[in-house]
Amino acid sequence: MNVDDIAKSAEALRDAKHIVMLTGAGVSAESGVPTFRDKDGLWDKYDVTTLATPQAFEEDPGFVWKWYDWRRQKVKDVKPNPGHHAIADMEKWAEANGKRFTLVTQNIDNLHSLAGSRNIFELHGNIWKVRLWGTGPDDISVRELLECPLAECPPKDDAGKLLRPHVVWFGETLSPAVIEGAQHAAMDCDVMLVVGTANVVYPSAVMPYSVLRKGGTVIEINPGVTELSSDATISMREKSGEALPEIYSRITENA
């Protein structure tokens, strides 16, 4: 591990007033949740257009739900890894030291919450939530559905109305409330960590650039190279479950 990068990252976090942590599927990889674009990732194995679009759901809700039921079963028994825990620890440390801390995640697996993170914007929704089919992401019908595996597929509400997963599909817009909060945090922060994401999906992909444009620090943690790597202030070729606990222990040592 590059000790210099770890030390510089810890120093930037100590000096920060508002830290934003932007995460993607790579943060959950060490928990055993598959990513999307890596070899054997979900989009390598499955056809997006038949599973993650409103058109696919309209045509065959049972088929799409079976895929989500399978994904729910996969994440049901997995646990947050040291990367998730370090992020939750950093939030508590930041708050105890008068800093703001915002987590913006593209993940729908709920592992950040399980690890204890609190101030979270889930850009792409949450696999344990559902809402009525035909409604938008801020609809009052959004609710938890924890039954897993599902007894009824596709699931319906008490009035027999079809429910859909509360996740963002291709061709859909994100929750205006969530995106506004996340973008506001990205504009306000002075340090952003970009962890475990290929950084190719909008609008989160532009957030690190808005931080860089206003003179902020962007720290990338990813075992692979991304389009952001050459622009980031610090870019580490590390796994999040290894680098984040190192950074956290560096921040808190002699504190």
Task: Cite the active site residues.
Answer: 124
Residues 6+ apart with CB under 8 A from 29: 35, 38, 196, 239
In whole angstroms, the minimum distance from the beta carbon of 254 to ligand OAD comes to 27
Among 9, 16, 31, 35, binds ligand OAD (CB under 6 A): 35
Q: How many CA atoms lie within 13 A of 235 on its CB side?
A: 14
Closer of 217 and 226 to ligand OAD (Cβ):
226
- Is 54 a residue that touches ligand OAD (CB under 6 A)? no
User: Binding segment for ligand OAD among 59-67, 148-156, 183-191, 197-205 (CB under 6 A)?
Assistant: 197-205
Minimum CB separation from ligand OAD for residue 200, in Å? 6
224-243 positions binding ligand OAD, by CB under 6 A:
224, 226, 239-241
Q: What 8-state DSSP symbol labels residue 206?
A: G
Interior CA angle at 43 toward 48 and 73, to 5°? 90
Q: Residue 61 Cβ, how far from ligand OAD at the closest point, in Å? A: 17
- Judged by CB under 6 A, the residue of 114, 150, 201, 212 near ligand OAD is 201
By CB under 6 A, which span of 23-31, 88-96, 139-147, 206-214 interacts with ligand OAD?
23-31
Q: Give residue for tokens 């999906």.
A: 201
Stretch touching ligand OAD by CB under 6 A, among 36-44, 67-75, 156-164, 182-190: 36-44
Cα 122–51–161 angle (5° rounding)? 75
* Binding flag, residue 36, ligand OAD (CB under 6 A): yes
| Exposure letters 81-94 (e unless 16+ CB within 10 A, then b) | bbbbbbbbbbbebb
Both tokens assigned to 113: 């919450």
Amino acid present at 160: G
Q: Is 222 in the site for ligand OAD (CB under 6 A)?
A: yes
What is the DSSP-derived secondary structure letter of residue 219? E
**Which residue is closest to ligand OAD by CB?**
26
Which residue lies nearer to ligand OAD by CB, 95 or 203?
Answer: 203
Task: Name the DSSP letter for residue 156.
Answer: B
Residues 198, 7: Cα–Cα separation, whole Å: 24
Q: Which is nearer to ligand OAD, 185 or 243 (CB)?
A: 243
Q: Which of residues 137-196 bind ligand OAD (CB under 6 A)?
A: 168, 196
Query: Residue 234, class by beta-carbon neighbours within 10 Å (0-12 exposed, 13-18 middle, 19+ buried)?
Result: middle
Number of residues engaging ligand OAD in binding (CB under 6 A): 26
Of residues 211 and 236, the one with the C-beta less far from ligand OAD: 236
Residue 146 Cα to chain centre, angstroms:
20
CA distance 26 to 121: 17
- Please answer whether residues 252 and 92 qualify as being in contact, where contact means their C-beta atoms are separated by less than 8 angstroms: no
**Interface with ligand OAD (CB under 6 A):** 24-26, 29-30, 35-38, 41, 52, 106, 124, 168, 196-198, 201, 221-224, 226, 239-241
